[in-house]
Amino acid sequence: MFANLSYSCAEQVTVHFVNRDGERLTATAKEGESLLEVVLNQNLAIDGFGACEGTLACSTCHLIFEKDAFQKLGAISDEELDMLDLAYGLTETSRLGCQVCVKKWMDGLTVRVPMDVSDIRSELEVGKQSKQ
């Protein structure tokens, strides 16, 4: 009975997000959650973040990692690279939050939200309306 309590405490990871305005938001995440899920589940006030809810259809969950943390992340899929190509403020250490899952080593991790956001879905809607 008590073993389950200690296990649930052990899987908690603290993650910090630096918002576009410089505000630091702190969340408690569960190991295995994506960083997008952390933002949504904790109701963090990051405007427009994760608009496609993790379906790799936008780049609104674009996050910038510190170089040492970035190098520890898993491989980037071709689909993620395609979406990152559409992101504003792309850096060498950019990833999509929907594709990065929380690990124990991330406890205390700080990631930055880029200043601007690009949502390819909005551009497609504008294109559809201009053709009508």
Domain-located, residue 125: no
Q: Tell me which residue range forms the domain holding 94.
A: 14-110
pTM: 0.80
Domain-located, residue 126: no
The residue among 107, 103, 101, 81 whose CA lies nearest residue 92 is 81
Residues 6+ apart with CB under 8 A from 36: 49, 50, 53, 54, 61, 96, 97, 98
With a cut of 70, say whether residue 2 has pLDDT above it: no
Tens-place pLDDT, residues 77-114: 999 999 999 898 999 999 999 999 999 999 999 999 99
Domain-located, residue 122: no
Total number of domains in the chain: 1
Domain-located, residue 86: yes
CATH number of the domain where residue 79 is located: 3.10.20.30
